[in-house]
Amino acid sequence: MKRMLCALLAALLALVTPALAEPAADVPNWYEVFVRSYQDSDGDGLGDLNGLASRLDYIYDMGWRGIWLMPVMPSPSYHKYDVTDYCAIDPEYGTMDDMRALVAGCHERGIALIVDMPVNHTSTKHPWFIAACDALRAGDAGNEYVGYYNFTREAASGFVPLEGTEWYYEERFAGGGMPDLNLANPAVTAEIESVFRFWLEDVGVDGFRLDAVTSYFTGETDRSVECLRALKQMSEGIKPGSVLIGECWAGLDTIADYYASGVDSFFLFPAAQAEGFIVGSILARKNQAEKFARNYQAVLDAIPDGWLTPFLCNHDTGRTVGLVQGRRKPELAKLADGVLGMLNGGVFNYYGEEIGMVGSGDDPNKRLAMYWSDGDMTDQPPGANKIEYAYPYVEKQLADRKSLLNYVRAVNQARLAIPAISRGENSFLLAEGSVCLMKRSHPSGDCIIAINFSSKDAYTVEVEPWQIAVDLEVGNASAALTEKGGVVGLKLPPCAVVVLVPAE
Q: Which residue stretches of 198-273 are H helix? A: 221-238, 252-258
**Between 54 and 297, CB nearer to Ca ion:** 54
Mapping DSSP onto H, E and C, the string for 96-145 reads HHHHHHHHHHHHHCCCEEEEEECCCECCCCCHHHHHHHHHHHCCCCCCCC
**Between 124 and 215, CB nearer to Ca ion:** 215
Minimum separation from the CB atom of position 405 to Ca ion (A): 24
3-class secondary-structure state, position 214: helix
Cβ atoms < 10 Å from Cβ of 220: 12
Nearest to 460, CA basis, from 490, 487, 434: 490
Minimum separation from the CB atom of position 315 to Ca ion (A): 19
Mapping DSSP onto H, E and C, the string for 261-298 reads HCCCEEEEHHHCCCCCHHHHHHHCCCCHHHHHHHHHHH
| Catalytic one of 98, 211, 353, 473 | 211
- CB-based contact 68:208 (threshold 8 Å): no
| Catalytic one of 247, 290, 337, 354 | 247
Looking at residue 484, its amino acid is K
- Sites of contact with Ca ion (CB under 5 A): 40, 42, 44, 46, 48, 120, 180, 215
**Between 220 and 362, CB nearer to Ca ion:** 220
How far apart CA 31 and CA 14 sit, in angstroms, is: 31
Element holding 423 (H helix, E strand): helix 419-423
Minimum separation from the CB atom of position 114 to Ca ion (A): 21
**Between 126 and 440, CB nearer to Ca ion:** 126
How far apart CA 390 and CA 378 sit, in angstroms, is: 18
Q: What are phi and psi of 411, to 5 degrees?
A: -60, -50
- CB-based contact 32:351 (threshold 8 Å): yes
Could you confirm whether 363 is annotated as catalytic? no
Could you confirm whether 331 is annotated as catalytic? no
Minimum separation from the CB atom of position 415 to Ca ion (A): 32
**Between 120 and 317, CB nearer to Ca ion:** 120
**Between 44 and 374, CB nearer to Ca ion:** 44
Minimum separation from the CB atom of position 11 to Ca ion (A): 48
Cross-strand partners of 350: 32
Minimum separation from the CB atom of position 468 to Ca ion (A): 45
Active site residues: 211, 247
